[in-house]
Structure 1
Amino acid sequence: MRFYQESAAMGGPAAGGQQPSGESNAMDSISNGPKPLDQLPRLARDTTAENPWPVSVVSQKYHDAVERWPGAWIEGQIVEINMRRASSGYITLRDSFEEISISVMGFRNFVALAKDFRQGDRVVVHGRPNIWVKATRLSFQADDIRRIGAGDLKAQIDELRKKLKGEGLFDADNKVELPEFPSCIGLICAPQARAEGDVITNVNLRWPAVSFKVIHAHVQGPQCPPDVIAAIQKLDADPDVDVIIVARGGGSFEDLIGFSDEGVVRATAACQTPIVSAVGHEDDWTLIDLASDLRASTPTDAAKKVVPDVHEQWQLIGGAIQEMRMRVSAGVDNEIRLIEGYASRPSLTQPQTMLEPHQRFIDQSRQQMHMGLTRIVDDAGLTIEKLQASLTALSPQSTLDRGYAVVQTADGHVLDEAGRVKAGDRLTLTLRKGAVVAKAESALPEG
């Protein structure tokens, strides 16, 4: 920053320099030969037309400023490459999306790494900016180069995706449903990140009753995967956490590469607590999106998906109450109509009508029974009369009634032979009416 301010201050009124008093004064000052360094202006704003910096000083100051810049990984496509010399090599990289190029140079170790690369290859290069003082030319001095063409990071991630998919880590059967009304949300994000504010603010607007357990982690760079894995495992082990959100704002493909790490994906798939990925923007995709139980396009979208809207819930409750009242009222009205229908039936208004068919049945049964018994008695009377007539016809009384008598000996035996009677035997003669006791004078045998 200091270098930029100093460079911007070189010459001109905006730099605080003085207007040249005349071309001859400037030429006179310059034509006197090189000045000692201790007589040159220390800062760019101190230079004037009469006391300028030599090109060598400017170039050196550029070099010294650029040397303080940090190293970085850059990505692009090789449009020119020259690795013919073993001691040094040169590459021109073009941005993958914009018409912008940068010169890359390196020495022996870099040449050994880059000698097999060809024009058109996509690569990532590590190095730091450098100024070649001789020509005051800015270049990128590289010390490492890696291919991301046919076997680039995206291809490697795609291979990892196929591998993990084959293991079933992305199967829908492994997805866990989000709780409808979470009480505690675990949030993984960068410290002081906008994603944290987006999630918490939108969740509190929609469902104020929820609480948060926030774990700050690196969301890019080499420390990203272990931090995210540890945070997921810690929140998953917390019984208070109902759902986990992994949130990060947008960024380049390289910025988001940590969320496609195999360890992160496996930790996400193994998480028992429902987990939502909210990494990048809507068009950004990482492997954690496939392993998570739900993918949100942005952190704000994640907030909308993990909690309901309290206003919508109140409307649902109000609608449900109204529906219940209508159903209860309709049920009561229906029962009232049924009761009124029952009350108007003849069985209740004239209950005796229910007995009439039974009374008719009883009357008919009594009549039939009387008729049946009468026939039985009549039949029995006729039988008795017949039997009585038969008995009467066979009865000894009938014989007596015709004038005959029954003679019995003293021992009560009926006398039917005269030969069994001797003179002087006592005999009893039973007549139609009464009996006569007599003595036998003699017996006249048959013959």
Structure 2
Amino acid sequence: MALESSPQAPAPVRQIANAISGWVDRLGAVWVEGQIAQVNRRPGMATVFMTLRDTIADISVPVTCSRVMFDSLNPPLVEGASVVMHAKPSYYANRGTLSLQAREIRMVGLGELLARLERRRQLLAAEGLFAAERKRRLPFLPGRVGLVTAPNSAAERDVLENAKRRWPAVSFEVAYAAMQGPRSATEVIEALERLDRDETVEVIVIARGGGSVEDLLPFSDEALIRAVHRARTPVVSAIGHEPDTPLLDLVADVRASTPTDAAKLVVPDVLDEQRQVLAARDRVRAAMTGWLAREQAGLDALRSRPALADPRTLLDARAEEVRQLRDRARRTVGHQLDRSADDIAHQRARARALSPLATLQRGYAVLQDEAGHVLTSVAGLVPGREISVRVADGRVHATTRQVEPADTPPTDTPRIDTPAPDTAATDHSDEEHHD
């Protein structure tokens, strides 16, 4: 019902706002198509705010949805995506704004295509086709390069001209295939497999110029992705421009942003390599010169030492030491011989002093019977008994004529006085007693 109001009885703002809110609430949920122009995810809020714009007219309407529903979308919803959503109009009376509360969001057109590609990417990634550890390194200077591209295309000219400009001796094996259309994926697979069977080809480049998402769709074909993964030869993907990312870029061993960049990645720059060789040669020459200078300085230092300047210096010093040691040894041995001779003389003198022969030389004599026993007493001697007398220089044989004992017994050994014999026999033995 229309509100009754007049200049005399105007309706308040709240009444009008509540009336509008009631009218909008009576509208049911509708399906609406548009393009996401803006996405605003505020931290800590369970609601995501978006702007849905008409694809033809310059008209837009705010849209809200729950964070749970927004995060569950696969692929994620981004700005610029075309969608169809089931939403209910809602009027916020406090601010007087109209918005749509999204209950379901679906991708359409390009958005649906991107969603299918994203699901395919996730499945292939789960199989490990995009794993970094399976990527192969490109050869530093390939002998022959394989190129898969469209005949007489700008991509072919970019790759060939830039590669030959960088390395004039590079050789190419070109395999032509359709780079757009329904047969593009099949022809690219056949060209790839043909080059992969050629043992002279060391790296393969798949090149195409830029285009729309639909034009580049063959390079996200699952069969082509698996064929590149099976290839034994390293593959370089040079599809489109920098923003274009078909699935071929993910499975290829190296991704080039453009065909020109692919030529730079495949072969080195001859001028740059020459500069590096010259720089390396200079570094080696400088290192060798420095090493030789250090070694020469070491040799000069060794040569300047006295031992090497005149080797006879050490020999003369050692010869003088040998002479001094020899003289010291001779003096030491001489002193030891002198001391030993003195010791022998002293021992000889002591032995001679203790010898009975020395006593005999002082005038004493030793009296012995026939058996050679020394007689120390007159007891047992009778006249007419044969005795011998030992003096210093010989022996006297005599016969006892008379035995006269002493009046007083001597305190020491009895002394026997024997007269000189009439006849004496000299003993020819010359015995000496030694200690």
8 A Cα contact 1:170 1:290, kept in partner = yes
| Residue from 186, 191, 198 that aligns with 1:231 | 191
| Residue from 188, 210, 221 that aligns with 2:170 | 210
Match of 1:438 in 2: 397
Q: Which runs of 5+ in 1 are unaligned?
A: 1-76, 80-94, 100-119, 124-145
- State, as a whole percentage, how many aligned pairs show the same letter: 40
Match of 2:295 in 1: 335
Q: Relative to structure 2, which stretch is displaced further, 408-417 or 189-198?
A: 408-417
| Residue from 103, 119, 139 that aligns with 1:179 | 139
Question: Over residues 266-287 of structure 1, what are the superposed CA-to-partner deviations in whole Å (9 max), with x where a residue is unaligned?
Answer: 3323433221100112222111
In structure 2, the CA distance between the partners of 1:361 and 1:161, relative to structure 1 (3 Å rule), is: farther
In structure 2, the CA distance between the partners of 1:97 and 1:310, relative to structure 1 (3 Å rule), is: farther
Give the whole-Å Cα distance in 2 for the aligned partners of 1:385 and 1:172: 106
Question: Over residues 127-179 of structure 1, what are the superposed CA-to-partner deviations in whole Å (9 max), with x where a residue is unaligned?
Answer: xxxxxxxxxxxxxxxxxxx9744861111111222233333332322221111
In structure 2, the CA distance between the partners of 1:160 and 1:437, relative to structure 1 (3 Å rule), is: same
Give the whole-Å Cα distance in 2 for the aligned partners of 1:231 and 1:411: 144
Structure 1 length normalisation: TM-score?
Answer: 0.59
8 A Cα contact 2:145 2:171, kept in partner = yes
| Superposed displacement of residue 387, structure 1 | 2.6
Match of 1:350 in 2: 310
8 A Cα contact 2:107 2:115, kept in partner = no
Match of 2:276 in 1: 316
| Residue from 219, 240, 245 that aligns with 1:285 | 245
Q: Which runs of 5+ in 2 are unaligned?
A: 1-31, 35-53, 59-80, 85-105, 407-435
In structure 2, the CA distance between the partners of 1:391 and 1:163, relative to structure 1 (3 Å rule), is: same
Q: Relative to structure 2, which stretch is displaced further, 330-339 or 249-258?
A: 330-339
SS at match of 2:229: helix
Give the whole-Å Cα distance in 2 for the aligned partners of 1:444 and 1:229: 160
Matches within 5 A, 1:297-446: 297-355=257-315, 358-359=318-319, 361-363=321-323, 365-366=325-326, 369-370=329-330, 372-374=332-334, 376-406=336-366, 429-432=389-392, 434-441=393-400, 444=403
Question: Over residues 13-69 of structure 1, what are the superposed CA-to-partner deviations in whole Å (9 max), with x where a residue is unaligned?
Answer: xxxxxxxxxxxxxxxxxxxxxxxxxxxxxxxxxxxxxxxxxxxxxxxxxxxxxxxxx
Q: Relative to structure 2, which stretch is displaced further, 298-307 or 338-347?
A: 338-347
Match of 1:12 in 2: none
Give the whole-Å Cα distance in 1 for the aligned partners of 2:271 and 2:110: 51
8 A Cα contact 2:387 2:400, kept in partner = no
8 A Cα contact 2:204 2:235, kept in partner = yes
In structure 2, the CA distance between the partners of 1:201 and 1:354, relative to structure 1 (3 Å rule), is: same
Give the whole-Å Cα distance in 1 for the aligned partners of 2:107 and 2:151: 33
| Larger proportion of helix | 1
8 A Cα contact 1:265 1:288, kept in partner = yes
Match of 2:218 in 1: 258
In structure 2, the CA distance between the partners of 1:147 and 1:406, relative to structure 1 (3 Å rule), is: same
In structure 2, the CA distance between the partners of 1:121 and 1:280, relative to structure 1 (3 Å rule), is: closer
Give the whole-Å Cα distance in 1 for the aligned partners of 2:372 and 2:231: 127
Give the whole-Å Cα distance in 2 for the aligned partners of 1:344 and 1:156: 84
Letter in structure 1 aligned against 2:159: V
Q: Relative to structure 2, which stretch is displaced further, 423-432 or 239-248?
A: 423-432
Question: Over residues 182-204 of structure 1, what are the superposed CA-to-partner deviations in whole Å (9 max), with x where a residue is unaligned?
Answer: 11111111233332222122212
| Superposed displacement of residue 335, structure 1 | 2.8
Letter in structure 1 aligned against 2:226: R
8 A Cα contact 1:186 1:235, kept in partner = yes
In structure 2, the CA distance between the partners of 1:379 and 1:166, relative to structure 1 (3 Å rule), is: farther
Structure 2 length normalisation: TM-score?
Answer: 0.61
Give the whole-Å Cα distance in 1 for the aligned partners of 2:56 and 2:394: 161
8 A Cα contact 1:243 1:274, kept in partner = yes
Q: Relative to structure 2, which stretch is displaced further, 370-379 or 304-313?
A: 370-379
Letter in structure 1 aligned against 2:360: L
Matched, 1:155 2:115: yes
| Residue from 188, 191, 207 that aligns with 1:247 | 207
| Superposed displacement of residue 246, structure 1 | 0.8
Letter in structure 1 aligned against 2:350: S
8 A Cα contact 1:346 1:353, kept in partner = yes
In structure 2, the CA distance between the partners of 1:386 and 1:97, relative to structure 1 (3 Å rule), is: farther
In structure 2, the CA distance between the partners of 1:346 and 1:147, relative to structure 1 (3 Å rule), is: closer
Give the whole-Å Cα distance in 1 for the aligned partners of 2:348 and 2:297: 74
| Superposed displacement of residue 236, structure 1 | 3.2
Number of residue pairs aligned between Structure 1 and Structure 2: 314
Question: Over residues 83-110 of structure 1, what are the superposed CA-to-partner deviations in whole Å (9 max), with x where a residue is unaligned?
Answer: xxxxxxxxxxxx98999xxxxxxxxxxx
| Superposed displacement of residue 384, structure 1 | 2.8
Give the whole-Å Cα distance in 2 for the aligned partners of 1:199 and 1:175: 22
| Superposed displacement of residue 306, structure 1 | 0.8
